[in-house]
Structure 1
Amino acid sequence: MAETTRRARSSQHSAARSLGRGGVLPHPRRLIEIGPHGDAHWAALRAGIAVAVPLVVLYSTDHMQLALYAAFGAFTALYGRTHTHVTRARMQATAGVGLLLAVVAGTAVSAFGMRDWLILLLVSVMASAMTFVSDVLNWHPPGALFFVFAMAACASVPATPFDIVLALATASVSAAFAMAISTVGVTVPRWRSRRPTRLVISFRATATRPGEPLRVLSAGVAVLAAGAIPTVIGMGHPYWAMVAASAALGAADTTGHLVRAGQRVLGTLLGVALTALLLAVSTDALEIIAFVVLLQIGAELFVMRNYGLAMIFVTPLALLMTQLARPLSAGVLLRDRMTETLLGAAVGIAVSLVGAAVANRSSRE
C-alpha cells in the first residue's frame, strides 16, 4: 500500500511531461467515477465518534467557543484509515502533532494581531513544509490540506494570548481521544490477527525524488497566490481560497489536479445548497453538532470513492464548524465559500500547469 502511494507520487514528473507535450486532458467521466467501498464504514464511524464526543462535551460545559480547536484535533482520526492499528497509531501520532502545531500557530497569529500579508506568508510556508513532511512520513491522506485549513481557520477567529493555551489543550485532548477511538479495535482478536501494514519512511528518498522540490514549492506558491487575490480585493474569507488551491494539488499528478479541482468545485456547489438547507432547518448549537457529526461520517464514506461526492458533505461540515466558533450571516458565508472555492481551484490549476511546463522544459535540457 505504502509503496503504491510512493509510485503514484513519483509519477508526477512523467505525467507533467505528458501534459506539457499537449497530452490528453482527463475524460469528464472521471469527475463522477465511484471507487470501491473498501470498508469505509469503519473509518466513517471512527471519524464520527472522534468529532462527536469533544463537541458534545464542549456544549455541555458551555465552551462552544473552543469547538473549532476540538474539531481540528479530531481530524487526527482521518489518518491511516487503510492501515492496521499499530501502524495507524504511528501515523496518527505524527499527523496529530502537525495538526496541533497548525492550530497553535494559527491561534497565535490571531492573538498577536499579525497583518493579513504575514498570515498568508506563514500559511504558505506551512503548506510547503507539510507537503514535504507528508511525503517523508507517508501520511494518508497525503498533502498539506488539513494543516492549511487548521492554521488559516484558527488565524481567522479572534483570540487572546491565553487562547493559545486553551487551543493547545483542547486540540490535544481531542487528538488523543481520536487516536484512542482509532486503535480500540486492537482489542478484537479477529482484527488484531491481521497481517500488519508497513510505513515506508525515508527523508533521503523523498528529498531526491524527481519532481519533489517542484511539488513542495508549488504547494506554497498556490496557497500564497490563492490567498493574496481575495486579500487585495477585500473578500471576507481568503483562507477558503487557500484551502481550495491546496486541495486541487492534493492528487498525484497534473491530470489528477484537474480532476480534483473540478470535483471540488462541483461538490462545493451542491454542498453550499445543502448548507443553506441545514441552516434553514436549525441554527441551534446542539442540532448543528448533530449535523456536523453526520456530515463527517458522510464525508468519510465517500472521500476515497469520489472526492466530489465527499465535498457535498465536507462543505457544510466546514461552514457549520465556522458557525459554531463564530456565527456569521448565512448569505455572506455561502457566497464567499462558493466564490473563493472557484478562485482557489483556478489558482491551483494554473500553478499545476505552470509546474508541468517547467518540468517538461527541465526534462528536455
Structure 2
Amino acid sequence: MSRHARPTRQNSPAHTPRVRPLPVRTTVQLRRPVDIWHKPALSAAVALAVPDMALLALGRMDLVLYTSAGAMCALYGHGLPYAARARTLARVVAGMVASLGIALLAASSVSSPGLLVLLASLLAAVHKMACDATRIGPPGNLIVTFIAASAFFAPQHASEVPAHLALAVAGGAVAWLVGMAPSLIRPHGPETIAVARALEAAAALLRAEGTGALTGRQSTAAAVGAAWQTLFLVPATDGGRNEVRARLERLLVHAESALAAPTPDPAADPVRAARRCADLAHALRHARSSVPAIGPSPAEDREPAGRPRIPAPGRDSGVRSVLARLGPGSPLLPIGARVAAGCCLAGWASLAAGVGHPYWAVVTAASVFQANTTLSWQRAVQRFLGNVLGLALFFALLPLIHTGQPAMVLLALAFQIGAEALITRNYWLGSVCVTPMALLLTEFGNTAPARTLISDRALDTLTGAVIGLGCCLLITNRRATDRIEEALEHVTAAEAAARQLLEPRTVPDHRTGWARDRLAHSLVELREAVDIASGEWWQRALPAERVAVAEQQGHRTLSLLVRHTAAATLAA
C-alpha cells in the first residue's frame, strides 16, 4: 500500500456528511488588482470604439449589438504568447459568430418566448462546458453567453441574419488586430510577464523561507508551472525566438531554484536571493522591445547554456485534450446539465413574472454557476449587489444618457474600462460598471422606457441569482472528494517517478525536467481539487491529514529535484 493510500470505508470518517457554513465577509472583500488589468481594458475599449464610431457616423447605432459581439472578443487571450493568441482569438471570434448565428436564426424563426429561453439555456450550457474544457481563462463563458442570450430576444428577420453576422465578423477582425497590435512593440511581452510573476513568487517564498510556509511553496510552484506552460507555447523554429526563449528559461530555472530547501548554495543569503529575484522581475516587466540579457550571478556563470526545455510527453493538446475533457464520465457534463436547468428555470420564472425579454435572468443564472457551492454563493451575492448598484448608477446617469448617442457611446467605453479595472478587485465592484454598459448596448436599439428596463433587469437579477443559487445548493458535487483521491494517487505516482531520478549517480537530463513538470502539475491539481471540495457546503469530510502529508512530501521531493539539477550544474 502506498503512503497516501485510501483508507477503508469502514474505518474512515471521510464518508460522514458535513455541512460547511457559507462565507459572508470574504464575499465582498476587496483584493489587489491583477497586474495586467489595463491590457484587456484598453484592448476592449479600442475594439469597441472603432465600430461604434463608424455606426455613430452612419446613424445606425441600432446595430451596435452585432459589432460588439465580435469586438468583445478582444478581452480574451492576454496571457498567451502572440502566436498562441492569434489562434485563440480566431477561435473565440469563430465561436462567438457561430453562437450569434444560432441565436439570430432562432429569433427569426421561433415565436415562443419559452422555447427561446430553453434554446438560450442549452447554448449557455455549451458555452460553460466549452470554456472550462479549453481553459480559456477570464472572462470565460459569460461574454459569449450575454451576447447570444441577448440576440435570442432581438427582433430579427431571416434575411437580416447574414448582414448582422458580417458585422460581427468585422468587429471580430478589429478585435483580432487590436489583440495582436502590442506584438509590434513588445513581441515577447506575455512570456516575460509570466516569468516575472514566477520570479516575484520566488522572491516572496525566499523572504518567508524561515517560516517554512507551505502556501508560499504552493503559489511559487503554481507560478513556475504556469510560466513553463506559457514558454512551451512559444514557437521554437526561429533562431531569434530560440535565443529569447533560452534567456527566459534560464531566468525561470533561477525562480524554480527557490523551491529548493535548503538553497543549492549553502552560503547563499535568502534575503539577497529574494532581492535578486525581485530585481530580475522588475527588469523583465520594464523590458520593451526585447528580453534583456541580464547578467548572471557568479554561480550562474558556470551554468551551461543547454538546449531549450521541451514539454513532457504523454499529454494531449489542442482538440484532443478538449474532447478528452468532454468525454463520457467528464465532470463537465453534470455542470453543463446544471447550467442548462438553472438558466431555463430562471428564464421561465422571469417570463411568468411578466418580463418580456428574460435574457438577463438567463445570463445571471449562468454567471452564478461556479466550481463549488461556496463560489456559487459568493457569485450570486456579488452579482445581485453589483447589479443593483449598477442599475442605480444607470438611473442616476439617465439625464446624461438622454442627451444623445455620442454620450451613450462615451459612457459605454468608460464603463468597459472601469469594469476591467474593478472586476479583479471583486466581481461585485466590476458589475457596478458591467450592468450600465450592458444596458447601454441594448438601449441603442430598444424603445422601452428606461424605468421599465431598469425594473425588468432588477427582477431578472433577483430571479436568476435566487434560482441559480438554489440549483447549486440542491445539486451539490458529492463526488468532489473522489477527485482528491485521484489527485493523491497522481502525486504518489509522480513522486515515485521523481525519486528514481534522485540517485547519486544519475545525471540530470530532459527526464528530470519532465519529472519536475509532472510532480509540480500533480501538486497544483491536488491543491485545486482540495479547494473545490472544501467549497461544497454538503460534503464528506476531507482527508486533510493525508493531503497535508502528500503536499509536504511532494514539495520536499520537488525541492530535491531542483537541488539535484543545481548541484550538477554547479559541478559542470
1:305 and 2:452 matched: no
Q: In the aligned structure 2, how far is the partner of 1:123 from the partner of 1:192?
A: 38
Amino acid of the residue matched to residue 137 of structure 2?
A: H
Moved more, 280-289 or 33-42: 33-42
Q: Would the aligned equivalents of 1:218 and 1:351 in 2 still touch at CA under 8 Å?
A: yes
The reply on whether 1:29 has 2:148 as its aligned counterpart is no
Query: Using the alignment, how far apart are the partners of 1:332 and 1:308 within structure 2?
Result: 23
CA offset digits 1:142-196 (Å, max 9, x no partner)? 6532232222211212111122012100000001111110111111246458354
Tell me, what secondary structure is at the counterpart of 1:21? strand
- Measured in 2, the distance between the counterparts of 1:193 and 1:149 equals 28
Whether 2:385 is the aligned partner of 1:266: answer yes
Q: 2:350 maps to what in 1? A: 230
| Equivalent residue letter for 1:67 | V
Q: Where in structure 1 are there 5+ consecutive unaligned residues?
A: 1-16
**Compared with structure 1, are the counterparts of its residues 229 and 177 closer, same or farther at alpha carbon in structure 2 (3 Å cutoff)?**
same
Matches within 5 A, 1:1-365: 21-141=18-138, 143-189=140-186, 191-192=188-189, 194-195=191-192, 196=230, 201=318, 202=321, 203-207=323-327, 211-249=331-369, 251-283=370-402, 284-356=404-476, 359=479
Q: 1:153 to 1:185 in 2, by over 3 A?
A: same
Contact preservation (8 Å) 1:223, 1:242: yes
**Structure 1 residue 213, shift from structure 2 partner:** 2.0
Quote how far apart the aligned CAs of 1:231 are.
1.6
Where 1:118 maps in the other structure, the secondary structure is helix
Displacement after TM superposition at 1:112 (Å): 1.9
Structure 2 CA distance for partners of 1:164 and 1:188, relative to 1, 3 Å: same
How far, CA to CA, are the matches of 1:285 and 1:330 in structure 2?
15
- What is the distance in 1 between the residues matched to 2:480 and 2:417? 41
Give, as a single letter, the amino acid of the residue that structure 1 aligns with 2:386: G
- 1:20–1:26 Cα change, 3 Å: farther
Per the alignment, residue 9 of structure 1 pairs with: none
**Is the partner of 2:476 in helix, strand or coil?**
helix
CA RMSD of aligned residues (A): 2.5
Relative distance call for 1:19 and 1:138 in structure 2 (3 A) is: farther
- Offset from partner CA, 1:59-86 (integer Å, 9 cap, x none): 1122222111111211111112322322
* Cα distance in 1 between the residues matched to 2:15 and 2:27: 18
Residue 4 of structure 1 corresponds to none
Q: Deviations over 1:40-95 (max 9, x none)?
A: 11221111101111111111122222111111211111112322322222222222
Partner Cα separation in structure 1 for residue 121 and residue 464 of structure 2? 13
1:252 shift after superposition: 2.5
Asked if the contact 1:76–1:95 (Cα under 8 Å) also holds between the matched residues in 2, the reply is yes
In 1, Cα distance between the equivalents of 2:41 and 2:425? 13
Deviation string 1:254-300 (CA, Å, 9 cap, x unpaired) is 21111111111111111001111222223211110111111111111
Q: Which has the higher contact order (CA 8 A, sep 6+)?
A: 1
Q: Once structures 1 and 2 are overlaid, which stretch shifts more, 119-128 or 44-53?
A: 119-128
Offset of residue 350 of structure 1: 0.9
Q: Which residue of 1 aligns with 2:262?
A: none
Q: In terms of mean alpha carbon deviation, does 72-81 or 340-349 score higher?
A: 72-81
SS of structure 2 residue aligned to 1:305: coil
Letter in structure 2 aligned against 1:56: M
Tell me whether 121-130 or 314-323 shows the greater mean CA deviation: 121-130
Distance 2:376 2:185 in 1: 39
Q: 1:61 to 1:260 in 2, by over 3 A?
A: same
1:78 maps to a residue whose letter is L
Partners of 1:305 and 1:87 lie apart in 2 by: 27
Q: Once structures 1 and 2 are overlaid, which stretch shifts more, 126-135 or 207-216?
A: 207-216
Residue 500 of structure 2 is matched in structure 1 by none
AA aligned opposite 1:320: L
Moved more, 213-222 or 89-98: 89-98
Q: Which amino acid in structure 2 is aligned with residue 81 of structure 1?
A: H
CA distance in 1, matches of 2:470, 2:380: 11
Structure 1 residue 198 displacement after superposition: 5.8
Distance 1:208 1:255, change over 3 A: farther
Match of 1:3 in 2: none
Instruction: Report the CA distance shift for 1:142/1:45 in structure 2 as closer, same or farther (over 3 A).
Output: closer
Percent identity over the alignment? 29
Question: 1:199-254 deviations in whole A, cap 9, x for unaligned?
Answer: 765121453676322211111111111101112232233111110000111x3322
CA contact (8 A) 1:44 1:301 kept: yes
Q: Which amino acid aligns with 2:58?
A: T
Farther-moved stretch of structure 1 (292-301 vs 26-35):
26-35
TM-score between both structures, scaled by the size of structure 2: 0.57
Q: How many residues align?
A: 347
